Structure 1
Amino acid sequence: MNKNRLETFSDGVLAIIITIMVLELHVPAEPTWRALLEELPTFLSYALSFVYVRIYWNNHHHLLHLAGQISGGVLWANLHLLFWLSLFPFTTRWMNTAGLAEVPVLVYGLNLLLAAMAFYVLKTTLIRRQGRHGALELALGRDWKGRASPLLYILGMGLSLVTPVVGLLVYSAVAAIWLIPDRRVERFVTHGMEQAPDPSAADPDGQARNS
């Protein structure tokens, strides 16, 4: 299957998610600095969610750039990821309207956790489709960010039950970690599939494993 339609559809969904979130930013009630500062928490939570959408868009682009053809399993895994990402406007808005209360901040972290798990499923499905020792598997390597992020989300969720602001700071720290570019992935994306060895070379039967 061709991956162009999948990428175009995903880009459209992510663009709509950002649009919905920005519509939650309200104009200050009065033309004063104080009124503007009152909207600062809402803006900061929007900025955090925007950064996360940007991170997922960037990494999603890398995955599809390095992947070969897609399968039905990849389509479902991609929709699974988009479902959890589409809830960002809802959980962000609830967190804002509740004034960073314990449960909304915890649910926001749960949303981040489930999105991370969905991205892992998509990544794993694409790697299995491409075969072992393909460009995607080599570019991601051990993927320590992907392994550490769910643990940090769980930590943030636990801390949010004690001090919601601290939990939110943990979520922000994870976003900051992902903002640091992965040079190995960038190198593979820049030079394309030519950097990866032929998967069939590592198969004793001389055939690539695409299942």
Structure 2
Amino acid sequence: MPMEGGRTPLRDRLRFVYIGIYWNNHHHLLHLCPTVNGGILWANLHLLFWLSLFPFVTAWLGENHFAALPALLYGLVLLAAALAYWLLQSRIIAFQGTDSKLRRALGSDWKGKMSPALYLLGIIAAALGHAWPALAAYVAVALLWLVPDRRIERALQDESEDA
């Protein structure tokens, strides 16, 4: 990561944190999916596409000193990645059937519902020219997901105890 004044720029830390969050949660998610089909593979590729845009939109955000338009595009990419993650979960649940381990683990999925809502609030704030409240909404989502999804961890632990 490039250093500015001896410190890692905020944009690089933000990019690292978001990619790390997705990496950890994706890793846990796929542990509940011992087999896959074409729909899951395509949904996974769709997620990876949106994640591949993180470095570009984060760099643009940082290069423009967290201005409103880059914050808006950043939020749109974050929202698209969240929706792609939801789609991947949905494909896994559909493939596993009515007794899906993932469906049981997610429960009501309040974090999965809260995240797009916060992204939308951030996008609206950025569209109105308020970049910092938008970024605060995006950081709030990151804080929600910073610890890998404990619901999935519990399901994995229950599965290993049953074996």
Normalising by structure 1, report the TM-score: 0.71
Structure 2 gaps of 5+ residues are none
Q: Are 2:80 and 1:114 equivalent residues in the alignment?
A: yes
- Show the counterpart of 2:136: 169
Which residue number corresponds to residue 129 of structure 1?
A: 95
Deviation, structure 1 residue 62 = 1.5
Distance apart, 1:138 and its partner CA: 0.7
Aligned positions of 1:11-50 closer than 5 A: 22=1, 25=2, 27-28=3-4, 35-36=5-6, 43-50=9-16
More displaced 10-residue stretch of structure 1: 186-195 or 167-176 = 186-195
* Residue equivalent to 1:65: 31
Alpha-carbon distance, 1:194 to partner: 6.4
**Aligned residue in 2 for 1:144:** 110
Bigger mean CA deviation after superposition, 185-194 or 101-110: 185-194
User: Is contact 2:28-2:149 (8 Å) kept?
Assistant: no
| Alignment correspondent of 1:189 | 156
Alpha-carbon contact 1:113-1:154 (below 8 Å) kept: yes
Compute the displacement of 1:164 (Å): 0.6
CA contact (8 A) 1:66 1:192 kept: no
CA drift of 1:100 comes to: 1.1
Q: Does the C-alpha gap of structure 1 residues 193 and 142 become closer, same or farther in structure 2, counting only changes over 3 Å?
A: farther
Cα separation, partners in 2 of 1:119 and 1:145, compared to 1, 3 Å: same
TM-score, normalising length: structure 2: 0.90
Name segments (4+ residues, structure 1) moved above 2 Å: 180-184, 190-195
Number of aligned positions between the proteins: 162
Query: How far 1:192 moved relative to its partner?
Result: 2.7
Within 2, Cα distance between the matches of 1:103 and 1:46? 19
Alignment partners' CA distance in 1, 2:148 and 2:40: 25
Structure-2 separation of matches of 1:51 and 1:99: 19
CA RMSD of aligned residues (A): 1.9
Contact 1:66–1:193 (CA under 8 A) maintained in structure 2 = no
1:146–1:121 distance in 2 versus 1, CA, 3 Å: same
Structure with bigger gyration radius: 1
Greater RCO, CA 8 A, separation 6+: 2
Hey, what's the Cα distance between the residues in 2 that align with 1:91 and 1:62?
Answer: 26
Q: CA separation in 1, counterparts of 2:18 and 2:114?
A: 16
For residues 105-137 of structure 1, give each alpha carbon's deviation from its aligned partner in whole angstroms, at most 9, with x where no partner exists.
Answer: 110000000000000110000111011122111
Alpha-carbon spacing, 1:120–1:181, altered in 2? closer, same or farther (3 Å): same
- The range that moved more, 88-97 or 51-60, is 51-60
* Offset, 1:139: 0.8
